[in-house]
Structure 1
Amino acid sequence: MSDALFDQLRAQFQLPEGKIYLDGNSLGALPKTTLPTVADTVEKQWGKDLIASWNTHDWIDLPLAVGNQIGKLIGAADDTVVCCDNLSVNLYKAILAALELNPTRTSICVEKQQFPSDNYIAAGISGLLGNDRCSINALSIEHITPEQLSDAAVVVLSHVDYKTGSLRDMAQITANAHAAGALVVWDLAHSAGVVDIDLTACEVDLAVGCTYKFLNGGPGAPGYLYVDPKHQSASNAIPGWMGHAAMFDFESSYRPAQGIRRFLTGTQSVISLSAVSSGLAVFDAVAVSDIRARSLLLTRQFIDCLDESSVASAIAVITPRSDHERGSQVSVTLEHAFPISQALIDSGVIVDFRAPNIIRFGFSPLYNTQAEAIAAVQVLEDIVREKRYEDPKYNVKSKVT
């Protein structure tokens, strides 16, 4: 793992001067190549070639091409990932596919504390199908054991917990679920791009993720869906013309395409997909294993600095300290967490707050540095020691925290 390599990677991002950006776990920074890439898509392809671009620039296959780029980062074979829609919509498709593939089972097992949208989707499906076909079994992560999965058709889990940054053992949990007769859908939102993932080796059934966090695809960038080849005969719960076997025959009846393409629904955003592709290209110069090593170095250093700070007694690190149990963020709880988070942002350290009392420091190894990890702790220390957070302006909540 070369410092020079990561200096070169950092130089590929547009980072504002005077700020320490530790929020790549919410929205990744802007790759410098994205601006000309999007400009080319808009001005040259759309502007000059107009509708012919669906063929001449292969817009029609962008969801699959970008899916293959993502696949290289998550241990997925070509033609098993499609980049489309958003994570929630793709999770809806994935859960219903799993229910179809496992028709004798009658529950969806979810983790109680995972990102709420995942559980909203599961609950919505249960409400649609009825409890007799599909009830919800919400458990704490430590209680998701084979004994608890006797009637589970599918287990829905986050690879990295969005609040604590806890990394789950994908291989072991997947094996346990399979032993109990359940399929598994993994949410990779907080792990793809910063954690070594091998969906193929772990025999994962289905997975979903987003591209606007550590993959640096831009705000509102599309999500993605992975389907193991042995499950690609499952139905798409939201069938649309882009997933049709012969979309331009305009048949009145739906015939699903073969393979991963069947999980497309409507026309996808070409401009957004081009931005995602540009963000993913940054990863071509570095192995995910090196990114992971860098992530652990940064987060470990940050935790060590917190432990050695003068305000250590006021701060509880809720992210696992063990390397093999930690994603690429460090979450802390403390009194006055919200105003402190706002004071950090005002001081140039960009973090985010999660209710009720959590501040998340997200480290993107592609552009964050050891110097930033040290400096962020120093700023936090000053704010807490000087009680700067007591300024009333830091208690004003915006729509997005």
Structure 2
Amino acid sequence: MTITPGTIAQMDAADPLARFRDEFAIREGLIYLDGNSLGMMPKRTVARMNRTITEEWADGLITSWLGADWVNSAARIGDKIGQIIGAEAGEVIAGDSTSINIFKALTAALSLQEGRRVLLTETTNFPTDNYMMQGLARFGDLECREVGPDAVLDALDGSVAVLLLTQVHYKTARIRDMAEVTARAHEKGVLVVWDLSHSAGAIEVDLNGANADFAVGCGYKFLNGGPGAPAYLFAAKRHHHANPVLTGWFGHARPFDFDGAFEPATGIDRFQCGTPPVLGMSALEEGVDLMLEADMGALRQKSIALSELFVDLMGQCCGEYGFEFICPKDSDERGSQVAFAHDQAYAIIQALKARDVIGDFRAPNIMRFGITPLYLSFSDIAEGVERLRMICEQREWDWKEYRTRAAVT
């Protein structure tokens, strides 16, 4: 079936999430397809940051730790994120970076796995996950074992302490079956740490429904918390007696007693480290609050519809130009992004940016486009593909500057 402008208009008119677009600061003419790397700024974040800076910080100063409830921001925001990822109250803490939270989750899991010393992951995982695992292994009598993405389940055995996996792959958008993988790991006595950086706010996540052990994720992608936004860590309540290696003062049972000996807090608070980054927390909370106003089921359905439209239009408008779709064709197996391989991927992405379409490049030859249903319209997708078609028709990737930069990359 040929997709027409009338078809696109009907899709936008029937969109139950259309009102959320006005909640974001979107520059006229911009087609932003990189929200899976950095989400757009909610308009309400400006007022929140102004209040935090001018009232809570400038006027309230240190009294705002209690007066503005800064002191409880990690748990408060963590509970809100928990509603998005299928966790109970008291199972998620916000703060630190994804990398640091990976380290905390891995060491917490290891503390529960006496006699097991193998850390398992897959070779194509997002690099920071593997780097943190490799670094941890160098500090102890541990083995970091990396296997091909399809060999993970077969690699589970009695020597493995912890399995670290990303639920939605950052390049291919492949979704792993969290419940199945976790169950298979538990059969072998293995605990699992899930990275939800491309899941939370993009697909429906049910950590407790999958009997998950630990999970981490970032706040700056689909949660729209801003560049470098605080991350979060989930620990199932049955694991709250675990002992993560990083033991900062906010993880102490009584941080304001200033005791010289560490005594871990009860519950999720023991996974805190240092002082919460209040400015970052304030911005993140606005993004999370906005996400909570949307129905996750409707959001997922729109994500699939936007993605299917993108793929169909690529076939209709750009099918002759050598693009290879590298994501799962079944939308139920694909996260909220689409990706294509092309031998001039880097140059084409630069040409798209020149036409005000923002996607991103992933080595060696992948063009990646984030599908963010809260602020993308069906018209955005159609216009983005049309600008790509014009680039291909005019062979704008032949520009010398792009050829040279692509060769360097």
Q: Distance in 1 between matches of 2:136 and 2:116?
A: 15
Name the % identity.
39
Question: Partner of 2:124 in structure 1?
Answer: 113
Per-residue deviation, residues 118-174 of structure 1 (Å, max 9, x unmatched): 0000001111113xxx21111122111255333111110001100111111111111
Question: Partner of 1:66 in structure 2?
Answer: 77
Kindly indicate whether the alpha-carbon contact (under 8 Å) linking 1:306 and 1:312 is maintained by their aligned counterparts in 2: no
Question: Partner of 1:145 in structure 2?
Answer: 153
Question: Partner of 1:19 in structure 2?
Answer: 30
Kindly indicate whether the alpha-carbon contact (under 8 Å) linking 2:156 and 2:190 is maintained by their aligned counterparts in 1: no
Does 2:94 match 1:83? yes
TM-score (norm 2): 0.94
The unaligned stretches of length 5 or more in structure 2 are 1-10
Residues 151-170 of structure 1: pairs in structure 2 closer than 5 A: 151-170=159-178
Question: Partner of 2:45 in structure 1?
Answer: 34
One of 109, 112, 115 as aligned partner of 1:104: 115
Residues 150-299 of structure 1: pairs in structure 2 closer than 5 A: 150-299=158-307
Per-residue deviation, residues 219-264 of structure 1 (Å, max 9, x unmatched): 0101100000010111121101111111111111001111001111
Q: Distance in 2 between matches of 1:306 and 1:226?
A: 38
Number of equivalences:
396
Q: Distance in 2 between matches of 1:51 and 1:200?
A: 37
Residues 316-335 of structure 1: pairs in structure 2 closer than 5 A: 316-335=324-343
Q: Distance in 1 between matches of 2:97 and 2:238?
A: 23
Amino acid at match of 1:276: L
Q: Distance in 1 between matches of 2:123 and 2:15?
A: 42
DSSP 3-state at the match of 1:31: coil
Kindly indicate whether the alpha-carbon contact (under 8 Å) linking 1:109 and 1:149 is maintained by their aligned counterparts in 2: no
Q: Distance in 2 between matches of 1:242 and 1:372?
A: 44
Q: C-alpha displacement at 1:5, in angstroms?
A: 3.8
* Counterparts in 2 of 1:108 and 1:336: CA distance versus 1, 3 Å: same
Does 2:364 match 1:356? yes
Q: C-alpha displacement at 1:335, in angstroms?
A: 1.2
Kindly indicate whether the alpha-carbon contact (under 8 Å) linking 2:16 and 2:298 is maintained by their aligned counterparts in 1: no
Q: Distance in 1 between matches of 2:20 and 2:403?
A: 36
Query: What root-mean-square deviation, in Å, do the aligned CA atoms of Structure 1 and Structure 2 show?
Result: 1.6
The unaligned stretches of length 5 or more in structure 1 are none
* Counterparts in 2 of 1:312 and 1:302: CA distance versus 1, 3 Å: farther
Kindly indicate whether the alpha-carbon contact (under 8 Å) linking 2:111 and 2:244 is maintained by their aligned counterparts in 1: no
Q: Distance in 2 between matches of 1:384 and 1:255?
A: 62
Q: C-alpha displacement at 1:299, in angstroms?
A: 0.5
Per-residue deviation, residues 287-325 of structure 1 (Å, max 9, x unmatched): 111111110000011011112224445000001110111
Q: Distance in 1 between matches of 2:168 and 2:320?
A: 25
Q: C-alpha displacement at 1:43, in angstroms?
A: 0.4
* Counterparts in 2 of 1:47 and 1:330: CA distance versus 1, 3 Å: same
Amino acid at match of 1:101: L
Q: C-alpha displacement at 1:395, in angstroms?
A: 4.4
* Counterparts in 2 of 1:113 and 1:32: CA distance versus 1, 3 Å: same
One of 308, 311, 335 as aligned partner of 2:316: 308
Q: Distance in 1 between matches of 2:337 and 2:404?
A: 25
Kindly indicate whether the alpha-carbon contact (under 8 Å) linking 1:38 and 1:275 is maintained by their aligned counterparts in 2: yes
TM-score (norm 1): 0.96
* Counterparts in 2 of 1:49 and 1:112: CA distance versus 1, 3 Å: same
Q: Distance in 2 between matches of 1:335 and 1:255?
A: 56
Amino acid at match of 2:119: I
DSSP 3-state at the match of 2:208: coil
Does 2:392 match 1:384? yes
Q: Distance in 1 between matches of 2:126 and 2:214?
A: 18
Amino acid at match of 1:51: I
